[in-house]
Amino acid sequence: MTNQRPLNWLKNPRVQPGSSIDSLQRVIHPGIGREVRKLHRAILGGRMSPLKSLGNLSALLGLGNIWIKDESQRLTLNSFKVLGGSYAIYSLLKEKLGIEDQEEFFAALLDPATATRLRKITFAAATDGNHGRGVAWAAAKLGCPSVIYVHEGTSPARIQAIESYGAKVSIIEGTYDDAVRRINADAKKNGWQVIEDTAWEGYEDIPIRVMQGYTTMFVEIQEQLSGQGFIKPTHIFVQAGVGSLAASTIGYYRMLFGTEAPLTAVVEPETAACIFESARIGDGRPHSFPGNLKTIMAGLSCGDPNPIAWDILRDCAEYFITCPDYVAAKGMRVYATPLKGDPFVLSGESGAITLGTLMFIMQNPEYAPLKEEMGLGLDSQVLLLNTEGNTDPSHFRQVVWEGSDPVPPDYRVV
């Protein structure tokens, strides 16, 4: 059994709350959320994913409230990832067609000649599961083919979910980062349009659009919080793989509230901590994380940061935290077995890491200094993103039913 400490953390000395952030303005500019949400309403319909309140767990932990944006209920896709992929694809097509007006654009999609032209485009992506599923779904809606590369550790359930939308799936030896490099090379040879949430030299526009696509979540959250009488969260814990979601989240709130933005923490698996590693080295540049990146959190198993996302996190995120797998497993079990009166949340491994992290900070005396430094207490309104539901049923049962990845005895709360 592991005796790994639940958390390692560091504070970001680079954050300057009053300064202008050039890296942020490039991606998350005023009005982008409304623009993105307008397109998503047309593509996905008007239904929001729910914002759930864990009031009783909050009281137990000594917090004002814990708010969960539950993306397991985003359509039938079980993940937030469709927001980024669909916005990137549809906004790209608007550009290709030279149409700015949204109504005119969707009318053009119904034109047989336009549809025939668009269906010659093959969309391609590398994924651990959720992003590829979102790209395949959006491509299928347009009648376009899609090619998705997954790494060899991807579960059969996630592969089948992608294939259910008509995508051709290829399994690539190595890690997620190897699949990204391979899809880029093969797309150049075959003329495919790559839709990725990470950037590299010469490929930046699409990842920016993917990151912008995530802002629909935050527009919804702000409306939902307003309906409950709150202006904004006081704290946000957000998970990171390549960092795109984390940068979009933190960037949006920094753009919206400036110096009054919520305090933020980026959380990663300790075996795939490219954002933490970049912050630890401290030279301002993104750095890869070595090793096989093995973690139960498949959606966060990334060794190479998105450099565009890293620039935002370097300038805007206050804390960086890593944790072992048992922290995410605990979060899954707590979501699945809520206190009486709290709602049930169906959360996969990558979705639950932030709840597990928050609980260890609030309940473990070792992290009392971090709790105090972050100002976590009865006045705190903490926002977490449940980024995925039960995307790997076999492993979900192993964790929730069979108790795999248990908390070591030294760190259990009695």
Q: Which residues are catalytic?
A: 81, 128
CA angle (153, 158, 164) in 5-degree steps:
140
The answer to whether the beta carbons of residues 95 and 118 sit under 8 Å apart is: no
What pairs with residue 149 in β-bridges? 126, 170
Please enumerate in sequence order all residues whose Cβ is within 8 A of that of 113, keeping only pairs 6 or more positions apart, or say none: none
Nearest residue to 248 (alpha-carbon basis) of 172, 191, 197, 318:
197
The answer to whether the beta carbons of residues 75 and 200 sit under 8 Å apart is: no
Tokens matching residue 381? 């309104």
Residue 336, CA atoms < 13 Å, CB-side half-sphere: 20
Which H/E stretch holds residue 377? none
β-sheet with 381-386: strand ranges across: 8-11, 319-323, 263-269, 235-239, 381-386, 65-70, 51-53
Radius of gyration of the chain (CA): 20
